[in-house]
Amino acid sequence: MNPLENIRIVLVEPQSSGNIGSVCRVMKNMGITDLALINPHERHDWEEARRLACHAGDLLNARKVFPSLEKTVADCTVVAGTSARTGLHRDHAGLPREIAPIILDSAAYHKTALVFGREDTGLTKEELAVCTHIINIPSSKAYQSLNLSHAVMVCCYELFLLAADSSYQPPRERSPETSVEMRERVYERWSQMMIKTEFCAPEKLEHMMLGLRRIFSRGKLTDNDARILLGLAQQSLWVVDQWKKRKESSEPPI
């Protein structure tokens, strides 16, 4: 299977009808056909989008619509979100050329996603937390903001170029790479564990979880890896429950 067929382009709350159409044209140029829109505005002019799509109207017609990023990428393994911002939990962002092999390796066997934020505000902190990787596209300091379709083209071009290299052979893991849905189960159970074991205070949990997501996104996380992490958290929660029961039963009555 062509790995490009397993790459989903996700537009989060796109504001411009023309941009949606232009993204379809870019996708068809680069051999990517899976388009997902999250909460597109009701006022979108789909005829304008079709004009800008040019000969990629079939991709526009086949678009899928989702209510949230979590639901859009639930079946994906690698989810790369684009962000022009820098700072805490974004300092591990990579260039499109650096992230492309990671996406393509996974796309050889699994669904993957490239996520692009709103034209004016980009992706939120919560949306970036769902992403396994962050892409930063370098541009001139004179004007750093890229048009949405241009950003999609830069990323898709790197993927197309790499996929077209006949010498490229993606490695095969014995255990398949885990999905975003499974990752979220692991994160939820680990957040419970960190609170119950008093590893961190509730008010610091969000900050701690962002760090944990960053750690687990530095390399591939297979289904076996996820099951081990999930089992570790479940066993830790059970041990804490048993310890608390024994402590309560040993306390003298008041």
Q: pLDDT band for position 167 (50/70/90)?
A: low
Provide the CA 98 distance to its chain's centre, in angstroms.
16
Q: State what percent of residues in the chain have pLDDT above 70.
A: 93
Residue 121 in 3-state DSSP? coil
**Residue ranges of domains in the chain:** 3-163, 180-250
For residues 178-198, average pLDDT: 92
Q: Are 73 and 79 in contact (CB under 8 A)?
A: yes
* Distance, CA of 237 to CA of 233 (rounded, Å): 6
> Each residue of 61-70: pLDDT tens digit?
999 999 999 9
pLDDT of 120 strictly over 50: yes
In sequence order, the β-bridge partners of residue 64 are 36
Q: Is the pLDDT of residue 228 over 80?
A: yes
Q: What tokens appear for 244 in the block?
A: 């608390």
Residue 4 has pLDDT above 80, yes or no: yes
pLDDT at 200 over 50: yes
From 122-136, 167-181, 183-197, the region with the lowest mean pLDDT: 167-181
DSSP code of 113?
E
Put residue 166 in one of left, alpha, beta given phi > 0 → left and psi -120 to 50 → alpha. alpha
pLDDT at 248 over 50: yes
Assign 166 a pLDDT band (cuts: 50, 70, 90).
very low
| Residue 36 pLDDT exceeds 90 | yes
Least confident stretch, 27-36, 84-93, 121-130: 84-93
Burial of 217 (C-beta count, 10 Å sphere; 0-12/13-18/19+)? buried
pTM (predicted TM-score) = 0.74
Give the pLDDT band of residue 168 (cuts 50, 70, 90): low
Q: Which CATH superfamily is domain 3-163 in?
A: SPOUT methyltransferase, trefoil knot domain (3.40.1280.10)
3-state secondary structure of 34: strand
Q: What is the mean pLDDT of the chain?
A: 90
Question: Where residue 103 falls among pLDDT bands split at 50, 70, 90?
Answer: very high
Checking if the pLDDT of 90 tops 60, the result is no
Amino acid at 240: V
- Tell me how far apart the alpha carbons of residues 22 and 41 are, in angstroms, rounded to a whole number: 17
